[in-house]
Amino acid sequence: MSIDDDLDKRYKVDNFHSKSLEGNPINSPVDLDISIYLPPGYFESKEKRYPVIYFLHGYAGNNKGWTVSTLEERNKVTRFDLIPKKIREQIDIDRLLIFETLDELIINGDLSPFIFVQPDGSLHIPNQDGTKNFRGEIMTKGSYYVNSPYTGKYRDYIIKDVIDYIDTHYRTLPVKQHRALEGGSMGGYGVLSLCSYHPEKFMAAVSLSPGNITAKRLNWKLRIPLYEKMFGKKFNDKVGDSAWGDIINTFDIISSKDNPLLPSIKRDENGIMTDYDNEAFNNWEKYNLNNVIKENPEAFKELHLQLNCEKTDEFGLTQVSEEIHAILSELGVDHEFEIYSDKKTVMSPHIFGIGYHILPGIRFCLKYIS
């Protein structure tokens, strides 16, 4: 097996139509890009079929910067060249997965060949504060991959449209036994949500630092160490408050747009929440993963599941992950769970913790779907 010369045939971005998102209330696009990685050797045989791993990106992600891409595209998206050398030395850039690494591992026999698919889970609504990424583009709100009467059927979009498109257009093994789901942050939330409602679709799943947003977490203060090191505390405070505020605003739109929670909240002199609208709170709770999992106790019985998070995750998802782990354990769900500590994530335990664990997650999935 060798790396094909025509990499553009294996590193693909298709555009396809989603019937599930037709007529969505926010006029979000229904013709969406989807990133597809085909393994070396895919075009050498017209008969061989492959297992598929679907990866769900995190909040603010979209089709302008896929989580896993080529080395060239990764450098364009992350702009590590803008980070001072002393800070860059604290990041293990080589552990951030790229397509070229997957090629090498498959060719060397370290990984079984598989198809890797990344759908676009953005709402394509601009960040409420107009916050821009390193490329100078305004970041967008995320769908959380849920079916919402206010934003559209994004769970159906993944389960029906994306999977059907891939199985129709590529040589997959189109059954549950050869299909896995992985995701980080908002995508980690999506993994557990989709598997709760559709246990018939996936044999293995990996949830990396799942971003379960609950009303009880509204007081969280997001601070990203990398930004403080580069731009100072004042800038980091502003960016952190803006980013967290946008996430909370989005969850309000998704879960309770007609009766939003945020305007009803009352706080004391220390900024602690003291009162809120009960109906709006209950609307949020419908999307709380802790409740979703409890309401679907049989969904994980046959699923091979891995769940992990960095100990110092700046989004506060360590406790979130521990809560989910406790619920799964109470339900008797067999799963791998780890709260890890990694010095090379210090600049952003959340972002780099997820980034470093995508490949181990792939290895976990392939044990059960190859």
Q: How far is CA 126 from the centre of its chain?
A: 18
Alpha helices in 315-348 (DSSP H): 317-330
* Contact criterion met (CB below 8 Å) for 192 and 184: no
Residues 111, 358: Cα–Cα separation, whole Å = 14
**Structure tokens that stand for 146 in this block:** 């849920």
pLDDT band at 4 (very low <50, low <70, confident <90, very high): low
Location of structure tokens 């929670």: 261
The string of pLDDT tens digits covering residues 108-130 is 999 999 999 999 999 999 999 88
Q: Which residue has the higher pLDDT, 216 or 289?
A: 289
Location of structure tokens 């993944």: 158
Domains in the chain (CATH in brackets) are 7-214+290-369 (3.40.50.1820)
DSSP label at residue 275: E
DSSP label at residue 71: H
Phi and psi torsions of 54, nearest 5°? -95, 135
Residues 101, 284: Cα–Cα separation, whole Å = 40
**Statement: the pTM of the whole predicted model exceeds 0.75:** yes
Residues 156, 315: Cα–Cα separation, whole Å = 27
Phi and psi torsions of 210, nearest 5°? -60, 130
The string of pLDDT tens digits covering residues 251-282 is 999 999 999 998 998 888 877 778 889 999 99
Terminal CA-CA length for the chain: 18
pLDDT (0 to 100) of residue 59: 97
Beta strands in the chain (DSSP E): 11-17, 31-37, 52-56, 115-119, 122-126, 140-142, 147-148, 152-153, 179-184, 204-208, 266-267, 273-275, 304-310, 335-340
